[in-house]
Chain A
Amino acid sequence: MSTTIRIQREDFDPQAEADALTRGRNDVGALTTFTGFCRHEAGALSALELEHYPGMAEKELQRIADEARARWPVQGITVLHRYGKIVPGERIVFVAVSGAHRGQAFAACEYIMDFLKTSAPFWKREHKVDGSSGDWVEAKDADDKALERWK
């Protein structure tokens, strides 16, 4: 079954994306999805601006999905990531994995998100409610540490 990678400015429909992995099939036993949102950071954030490296971002997400497939015999994988200006409450990222069993679907979904955070070329810049902007979000050690469990 196929891998779908999309990087887009516009929003997406998680339910439609999830349904696309199971429609017309009777061999799917599990479907896991993850949706990441923009939060308001205690009311201080007015928007996030997401920059990406066109070409490499798609390539890197494909590579991460391929690595997940090499570890678990999953069926479908969908990875969507938005760029541009995103306000609190809006969706940023979506990962869905279908498989025969829940263990592989859960694991592959988490694996893809963990590697997406640290190796897909996207960067967030904050815009504040007070009108100031320009602060780039700093990478978190916790995201690097999250990779250790996959070694």
Chain B
Amino acid sequence: MKAVYFAWVRERVGKSEEEIAPPAEVKSVADLLAWLKGRGEEYEHAFEAAKIIRVAIDQTHVKHDVLIEGAREIAFFPPMTGG
């Protein structure tokens, strides 16, 4: 699946998007956040406060307990500050 990052999550990870292939035991958004956090220093920094990270699957907001199965694009970003 494609992971996309925005705002300070993007800056901390150091890229705006990438292909990721989490293992089968990564089932929910919360699992994925924990898995991403373990991928290295920059991910550790980006996902240190995983609870505040907002997530969208295929461009729709989702909560952290949602399952990621079938997701094509999963986005990670801080709380929004538009308007």
Q: Is A120 a contact partner of B56 (Cβ separation < 8 A)?
A: no
**Is the CB of A109 closer than 8 A to any CB of chain B?**
no
Contact of A50 among B60, B75, B78, B82 (CB under 8 A): B82
Nearest-Cβ distance from residue B45 to partner chain A, whole angstroms: 14
Q: Are A124 and B8 in contact (CB under 8 A)?
A: no
Q: How many of chain A's residues have a CB under 8 angstroms from any CB in B?
A: 27
What is the distance, in angstroms, from A119's C-beta to the closest C-beta of chain B? Answer: 6
Interface size on B, residues (CB 8 A): 16
Q: Least Cβ distance of B82 to chain A in Å?
A: 3
The contact of B83 among A53, A56, A122, by CB within 8 Å, is A122
What is the CA–CA distance of A81 and B80 in the complex, to the nearest angstrom? 14
Q: Which of B8, B59, B79, B81 contacts A53 (CB 8 A)?
A: B59
The reply to whether B6 and A119 contact each other, CB–CB distance below 8 Å, is no
Complex Cα–Cα for A124 and B8 (A)? 10
Q: Are A122 and B82 in contact (CB under 8 A)?
A: yes
| Top 7 closest pairs, chain A to chain B, by CB | A122-B82, A139-B79, A123-B7, A56-B59, A117-B83, A137-B81, A124-B81
- Residue numbers of B with Cβ under 8 A of A are 4, 6-8, 56, 59-61, 75, 77-83
